[in-house]
A and B are shown apart, each in its own frame.
Chain A
């Protein structure tokens, strides 16, 4: 690797270390903010340094990739390979791998092309995991294209001498299945078809004889493992009898394989594979839903509530999420299992509260976010609003500070509107006229606060990108990040207690003049509470200008400068009417900002220390 590449990786490690708050959580709020600001400043320096390293060394090389030397290509390959583990910088790896494809195509280096096609497709697979709950199709066709091209070299298998490259062909052929999320019957069938084709080749003795050194059994095992993920497809009742048989066959294969492996290791089979096996049995009609839920309950009861290893994490929070998903299949169980679900959620909260600060990684938070995909809310049970706050938002104190400040600014603004221009809020919270608005003052203020508090929940999915990017963003990253509004809205829409905040999550980046911002398909006319979206939009923008807690690369502005910026956006990003009212709240804002950030930080730390906190 070149010196600049090593330096880049070293800086990246530093950024990761500095962005972790775990060491600072025992400080008091003022010290926490001071220390964090110092670390942000250091991160800012590293970000600029890394960006400059790429500009000076990497981009000129990518500029002239066709004429790059063998050593340069070798160093790029190694650098890209080092960027992928732990998702250090997958997007940069993707850029480099793409350039290596260009190089390989230009010089007709077939073997290199096959390898780089595979690597690039794998980069996309990792990026896909960030957004596939909301948009499963953004990268799937690209993955299929790249894996497909690499796999198509099976036609000239005999001409390829390097066993490693032959391995890439087989892996690409098997990984074609990764491009199918099996959300529709057609896609599910296609997924099974590509796995079937891959398995046929993997089981063909001719290929084994040609390349005996390849890990054939691992390839076969991985293919069966992938086929069991087609459970999603079975779940929708879309699969044919032969598809059911194939999935069951793979589930049995994987189960046997794990049994054997665990026997060899002298350890029990992991809970994950137990659960997967039961799930397959349920979908294939071997178990009834009642039996299946009982099996999952048994697995859950066997967990260790103080185990924070992968197995512990699976048992303590993935299993409840899976269980909740299946409980919703029949209304009867939704009611019958209410107490079980309630218990699991209480235990989960306790489990998360017990996690050591250094284990609260961005992976952990993202996994927590994913559990909300199946969250069940009962009117008299745990509310998603509280759960989100206690389980996720407060686990990331810096995000919490930003959200809390936004919520308070939104509350200041809505309070002023209630006093001066109540007619603007008619229609919100069922207010039919201005008298209603005045009478509903508290409820409206609370709604503005909550919308501010939850508007950016989707951003937690992109913590790695926002907190640890270690360099300026690429355009593709900017586009990926825009999914946060949809991801947040999707979660909030699911439950009664958070549904009212979904519009603010979805529309807070959309422009008042409808000519800018995102998401593009957002239509303000479809949202009765658009005024709340606008209020949160302006509050969030204002807070981000003042505070760089979640964006280290920006220099915080003074309040006067921030207000000027808001005014500049009047008529484009924000409603002129709202900007005018917002500017009239200058005194209240000034008063709040005296210690607003400190209060927000105190609240965040209280939550983290599991002390009761009131909004």
Chain B
């Protein structure tokens, strides 16, 4: 029997909490069964909206989950010791985000049993093939990084073989951190490339550097900017709910600073990319950029929100040493960063499909069906459940473990 760690959530608090999320998870599972057994007509996607809320969700969680590979890279390769406090939580969050995304992708495709065809008949030119390969391999890396954490549960570590195995895994963690960084670099980029290569969709198509569209690089940069902010948010949320100081302030400060500077670089490059797209790429394809923003639902306000309100503003806040000392700022600014990245993924996924390319086709809006929202909720609850169980049973936070011992 695996026992919870001594100073974690008591059963009377933990059970109702998990019960609530299990109920949502069950609802998501029911919606999943509907889609898999009867078909995707249960969704509100259509022939104009081949990608819906699930792809938006996948792209967003994969970007936010970038905190895992980036923290591992900073801690194990660049030896940034401040991140020791958050690496456990980062690995679990990364695992949740990536495994959840893979499951939702499997529900999203019409013939999930054929997903292995990508490995058998890969199209080397397809960004989606690259995403599939790197995502699968990186999920494996995350699982390997997660195992030592599981084995650190006191009940399991009593077993000598498991203890030795955990020790051996720990020795090669640097290798996995490096492999994870390379794989993540490519799949984060390829996710951006998905849109930038679409030469038939002028809203999404971007200038190329060699074989990679600019979105390839922008997605990498935005993901490593948002990942640390998401880590701050989740750890602060977990601290609030558990009423415990889980992570030292220095770790938050380091994450905030790095998130701010990377976001600032991203906002700068994104602005240049947008200017080139408005003045060159779109007009060269026969479209004036103003056409893309003439519908109120996707007006220029969304561009302003993405780049300025949820981009430049939190970046400037997070690079300011004085502002980072304010606990409220360290919740609001990372929240803005995460929303900004979600808006970017939303725009690339949904706005690009709303706009017709044929001049006699109509502008189409899409609203997800209840079944789609159900699956969305299921994935969210899966994340909460895995994180909660990991918090209760595994030594995610070394600082907290230390306190319990003393």
A interacts with B: no
Residue positions of B touching A, CB distance < 8 A: none
A residues bordering B, Cβ < 8 Å?
A: none
